[in-house]
Amino acid sequence: MQFKVIAEYFDKLEKISSRLQLTALLADLLNKTDRSVIDKVVYLIQGKLWPDFLGYPELGIGEKFLIKAISIATATDENSIENLYKTVGDLGEVTRRLKSKQQNSGILGFLGTTNTESLTVEEVYSILSKIALTTGEGSRDLKIRLLAGLLKRADPLEAKFLVRFVEGRLRVGIGDATVLDALAIAFGGGQSASEIIERAYNLRADLGNIAKAIVEHGIEALKSLKPEAGIPIRPMLAERLADPEEILKKVGGIALVDYKYDGERAQIHKKNDKILIFSRRLENITSQYPDIVEYVSKYVNGNEFIIEGEIVAVDPESGEMKPFQELMHRKRKSDIYEAIKEYPVNLFLFDIMLYNNEDYTTKPLEVRRQLLESIISPNDYVKVAHHIQVNNVEDLKSFFYQAISDGAEGVMVKAIGKDAIYQAGARGWLWIKLKRDYQSEMADTVDLVVIGGFYGKGKRGGKISSLLMAAYNPKTDTFESVCKVASGFSDEQLDELQKKLMEIKREIKHPRVNSKMEPDIWVEPVYVAEIVGAEITISPLHTCCQNLVVKDAGLSIRFPRFIRWREDKSPEDATTTDEILEMYNKQPKKKLESPTVDESV
Ligand code: ATP
């Protein structure tokens, strides 16, 4: 398959402004793709060479060396490229222009290189992989030479997108749900196919693998797909409620209640003595936790499994739990073995999804728990989450208070009974979180996606000082604006923000963004931040839950304040518009009777 086809689609994708067109174009591209390279094309569409969970190296070519490669490929000196870059602001576009000039002046023929042999997807993929996997002494020169060779052979449009790919600038904007929809349109024909594909993807979060399975065996075959050790499962998520009585009712009056630990979620896979740890975002974090790898291999019995739990920092003397921030300190240490000593951790397991080739996601929680309990040898480091079974509100409340005084964040209330399966990739009422209060009127914080930025005035004149934030609507796979956040940032964070946003700035609104408000700059929807606010209110300025509460108005967060970046969340993991609606509906009654309309947010 010719790489040119992909470059042409990327070019078209840049110019569209709606999610519908985006999926239609992607479906079209997938239809035109040779079956043999469908997995590779799916990764390339997402700006990747392979799924993140493999933990393979990135391309490793910084801007300076990228310019060197462009210089070699286009026979232009580096200074001229840098100058052009300053005026154009996009190295991909710079390369396209230089290549076109070269082509028009016939310099290619003169240099003995012609474009008669066009690039194939296989070649491009294999050279890019080689660039990424080259390490050690002399690797930098080799990377530059390989890339220059590739750019030399590319036509102007291909070169533009190759440069963007190397810069990591394609790695934005096209989420997994968009690709899933495109796959359903291209190969399935309709809603039922969508559901089958999505289920398969929830059990094996590798889009390339799913695309390959579809073209090789057909959609129907996906129905019997099981989780596989080594490929992450999309995590099951919890709903939230603040009232213990209501929670107990929701789960049918009886529940298994776990401590809700304040650490890092870990999905741990074992296959043939190899242990892998995946984060909440399904990134490979094995190298950060050699201690956990050792504990699991020593104390969890079985040849092949997928288990899930929370890694929590503990005090080495007292064994007491420490807050999440301690884990962050550990992550910042460059010497991992020193970090292990200074910030020891324990693992609290709460689920099992695969055991010795048997799929446990379809079995009830009680069965999963029994198995989990039975495969852990007694030890001080790996335990099943502290839990009780409750059937009345009093017991639930007292366990909640006990959890908090032991340093947990609250409790997770989990439904039991035969339907209480592991719902991979879904946020549902089988798990409900009850957290200690956040000292604000909003019962919980929200995680929102940055979709734009506004310049400040005065001291921060000309610099970004507030952000336009959005919630995620999974039904339409779009981001709906919900507030403008201007407080909670330190000066340092603001400076960093400036840099961060400039790298993902867009000329026009992203096709997956839905906003009435026009920020000073639009950005790719990639960053997620935790925000707290005073309350949810009706706002004619925002599109979140537009028309659902009041005609021509949406919902917004009043007095939003930035708390921290949520690097462990992808944009599609952000708080959903349904959750915002739910939070709005749960607010004290008076607000429901006479909605607060806030024009200022
Ligand atoms: P979510 O993961 O639901 O999107 P979040 O990342 O903002 O939300 P929380 O609202 O704190 O996290 O709640 C869910 C998280 O709680 C889980 O992702 C998991 O990491 C953690 N957790 C701690 N203890 C447990 C437990 N016993 N069972 C399930 N999850 C637990």
Do 371 and 493 share a domain, yes or no? no
- Output the domain CATH number for residue 263: 3.30.470.30
Q: Identify the domain containing residue 107 by its residue range.
A: 48-167
121-166 pLDDT, tens digit each: 999 999 999 999 998 888 999 999 999 999 999 999 999 999 999 9
Do 158 and 92 share a domain, yes or no? yes
Whole-structure pTM value: 0.78
Range with the lowest mean pLDDT among 350-359, 541-550, 583-592?
583-592
**Which residue positions form the known binding site for ATP?**
258, 265, 280, 310, 350, 427, 433
Q: What angle (nearest 5°) sits at the alpha carbon of residue 177, between those of residues 59 and 277?
A: 55
CA of 262 to the centre of ligand 1 (A): 8
Q: What distance in Å separates the CA atoms of residue 571 and residue 581, rounded to the nearest whole number?
A: 19
Ligand 1 near 262 CB (within 6 A): no
Q: What distance in Å separates the CA atoms of residue 465 and residue 164, rounded to the nearest whole number?
A: 27
- H-assigned helices in 375-448: 393-405
List Cα–Cα distances, 410 to 243, 259, 262, 372, in angstroms: 13, 6, 9, 22
Ligand 1 near 269 CB (within 6 A): no
**Domain-located, residue 306:** yes
Ligand 1, residue 240: give the atom nearest the CA.
10
Determine which residue's CA is closest to atom 24 belonging to ligand 1: 260
Do 405 and 272 share a domain, yes or no? yes
Segment 398-402 shows an average pLDDT of 89
Residue 50 exposed, middle or buried by CB count within 10 Å (0-12, 13-18, 19+)? middle
**Domain-located, residue 74:** yes
Do 258 and 396 share a domain, yes or no? yes
Cβ(122)–Cβ(4) below 8 Å: no
Do 157 and 248 share a domain, yes or no? no
Selected residue with higher pLDDT from 552 and 98: 98
Range with the lowest mean pLDDT among 183-187, 253-257, 297-301, 404-408?
404-408
**Domain-located, residue 223:** no
Do 310 and 398 share a domain, yes or no? yes
Q: What distance in Å separates the CA atoms of residue 489 and residue 106, rounded to the nearest whole number?
A: 53
Do 385 and 475 share a domain, yes or no? no
Res 392: pLDDT: 96
Ligand 1 near 260 CB (within 6 A): yes
Strand partners, 597: 538
**Domain-located, residue 508:** yes
CA of 49 to the centre of ligand 1 (A): 30
Do 344 and 372 share a domain, yes or no? yes
CA of 260 to the centre of ligand 1 (A): 7
78-130 pLDDT, tens digit each: 999 999 999 988 899 999 999 999 887 765 555 545 455 799 999 999 999 99
Ligand 1 near 369 CB (within 6 A): no
Please state the separation of Cα 431 from the chain's center in Å.
21
Do 90 and 109 share a domain, yes or no? yes
Residue 521 exposed, middle or buried by CB count within 10 Å (0-12, 13-18, 19+)? middle
Res 110: pLDDT: 52
> Which residue out of 281, 310, 445, 573 has the highest number of ligand 1 atoms within 8 Å of its CB and is therefore the one to mutate?
310
CA of 235 to the centre of ligand 1 (A): 10
**Domain-located, residue 126:** yes
Mean pLDDT of the chain: 90
Determine which residue's CA is closest to atom 7 belonging to ligand 1: 447
Residue at a domain's end among 167, 197, 221:
167
Segment 227-235 shows an average pLDDT of 97
Res 553: pLDDT: 83
Do 126 and 262 share a domain, yes or no? no
Q: How many domains does the chain have?
A: 3
**Domain-located, residue 42:** no
Which ipTM score applies to this complex? 0.96
Predicted confidence (pLDDT) at residue 574 exceeds the cutoff of 50: yes
Half-sphere exposure of 546 (CA within 13 A, CB side): 14
Residue at a domain's end among 148, 167, 186:
167
Cβ(174)–Cβ(183) below 8 Å: no
Ligand 1 near 265 CB (within 6 A): yes
Do 420 and 306 share a domain, yes or no? yes
- Output the domain CATH number for residue 151: 1.10.3260.10
- Output the domain CATH number for residue 526: 2.40.50.140
**Domain-located, residue 23:** no
**Which residue positions form the known binding site?**
258, 265, 280, 310, 350, 427, 433
Do 394 and 474 share a domain, yes or no? no
311-363 pLDDT, tens digit each: 999 987 777 888 888 888 888 888 888 889 989 999 999 999 999 999 999 99
Backbone φ, ψ for residue 432 (5° rounding): -130, 130
**Domain-located, residue 186:** no
Segment 223-249 shows an average pLDDT of 93
CA of 340 to the centre of ligand 1 (A): 23
Determine which residue's CA is closest to atom 31 belonging to ligand 1: 260
Ligand 1 near 386 CB (within 6 A): no
Give me the active site residues, please: 260
Ligand 1 near 199 CB (within 6 A): no
Res 546: pLDDT: 94
Residue at a domain's end among 167, 195, 212:
167
Predicted confidence (pLDDT) at residue 373 exceeds the cutoff of 70: yes
